[in-house]
Chain A
C-alpha cells in the first residue's frame, strides 16, 4: 500500500489525477520492476478511478455469494488481477472495457468454483444423510447407461448436431440467439435486455440464422427431422 503522506504526496496525487489512463499505465509499467513504491502509487491512481465500475459489476450481479467468498473478496481479486495484467491492455480499447472483462471473468470463475463446491449445495432430503435407511437419490435414479448401440447412435447424432451448430453460429450473438430465441423460445425483448442488443438485431440475426440453417439442410438434402437424424447413420 502506498504509504507516502504529507503535502508533497498530496501534490503528487493531484498531479497524477490529472494524467490520462495511458500515461498512468505507462508510468506504472515503467516503474514496476525498478521502483515498486512509485508503481504502487501509479496503480492506485489508475485503479482508484475504476472502483465504482468494479463494484457495480460485482455487486449488481444477482448471484448470491457464499459466506466465505464475499463480493469484497471478488473485488479485491479483480483489483489484483488488473495489477497483474495491465501490461496486456491493448490501447485501442478503453481501459474501462479491459477492467470490465477482468471483473466479469473473475465473477464467472467464482460462480463456477462455488458450484463445484458440493458443500455449498443445500441438503436435498434426509435420504442424503450418510446413516439414513432411505435409498439415496443416486440409488433411486434409473441407470443412465445406454446400450452400446444406443450410445453409438447418440454420439453420431450429437456429431451431426454439433456440425450444424458450428456451421450456423459465427459469433457469440448467433450462439445466444440460437440458444435463447430459436431453441429456448424466449421473446426478443427479454433477450435484447439481457444481452444488451436491440430487439431488431435479435430478429435480424434470427432471420440470418434461419437462412444459414436452410442452406445447411439443403446442401445435405435434408427436409425433415427424420432425415436429419437418419443422416447421422448414413454419414451425410
Chain B
C-alpha cells in the first residue's frame, strides 16, 4: 500500500492531461501500477473526459447566480462540472465579485437617460413586467418618432434611391427603408425592407442579406398618415411584416414611413 503523502496529486492530473514529460510520465505510470486508489481515479477521470460533455438545458441565469453566491444545488453543480459555457459564466461572477470588493464608490456619475424611460414605463404599467405593448406607446414616444423621422428623412430617401440604382435592369424593387428604434426611443439604425405582394396591402420583407428579424420580437410598426403617427400593428415574430392590418386603420401603406420598436 502506498502512503497517502506519496500520492502524486498534482502530477496525476497533469499526466492525465498529457502535460508531463516522458520521464515524469513514466514515474506516474509506475505509481499507478502499484496504487489501486490512483489507478481508480485515473480511470474515472478518463471516463469523465470521454463521456461527460454536459447535456440538457443550461441552468437559468438566476440559478447560476444563486449557485455562485452559495446556494447548494446538485443539478447545477453537476452541469457546471462538464459545461464549458456555464463554467465561463461563473468566471464572470467571480471577476465581478472581485471588482465589487475592490470598488470604492465614487462621486455620483450620470444615470443613462434610457434608465428613466424604463423606470417610467414600469411605473406607468403599475409595476408590471416591463415590456411595452405595441399599441400602448406613449404620446411622448410617438412625438419622438416623428422627430426622428424628420431628422432622418434624407438618409431614408438616399438609401431607397441607392437600392433602386443598384437593382438589376427590369427589376423595380419597392424598397422601404425602415427606422429601427429601441424601446426607449433610441435610434438603432436603418434597415431595408422590400414590399411584396400578399395580404390586403402587401408584405414588408426584410432584405435577404440579413436574417436579423428572424424569431425576434418586433413590438410595433408605426406609420405616419398625414404627418400624424398611427400604430399599425403590434408584436410580430417573423421576418416579414404583413401590412394588411393597416387597412383597418384606413391608412395608405404606400405613403407610410415605418418604425420598428424592438426589445
Contacts and interface: CB of A to CB of B under 8 A. Distances in A.
B199 interface: no
Contact of B108 (A48, A61, A165, A203): A48
A134 interface: no
Interface of A is mostly: helix
Interface stretch (A4-12, A139-147, A216-224): A216-224
Interface residues of A, number: 91
B19 A213 contact: no
Contacts of B94: 194-197
Contact of B100 (A17, A100, A178, A187): A100
B189 A67 contact: yes
Contacts of B262: 68
A179 to B, nearest CB: 5
B97 A196 contact: yes
Interface in A22-78: 36, 40, 43-45, 47-53, 56-57, 60-61, 67-68, 72-73, 75-77
B93 A179 contact: no
Interface stretch (B72-80, B135-143, B159-167, B245-253): B72-80
Interface string B139-162: 000000000000000000000000
Contact of B110 (A45, A51, A207): A51
A236 interface: no
A96 B101 contact: yes
B64 A203 contact: no
Contacts, number: 258
Contacts of B122: 80, 83-84
A223 B115 CA distance: 59
A121 B30 CA distance: 49
A83 B97 CA distance: 20
B1 interface: no
A183 B95 contact: no
B29 interface: no
B189 A68 contact: yes
Contact of A225 (B44, B58, B78, B103): B44
Contacts of B48: 161, 164-165, 178, 182-183
11 contacts: A56-B99, A67-B188, A105-B62, A105-B64, A109-B61, A170-B77, A175-B77, A183-B52, A183-B81, A196-B95, A206-B13
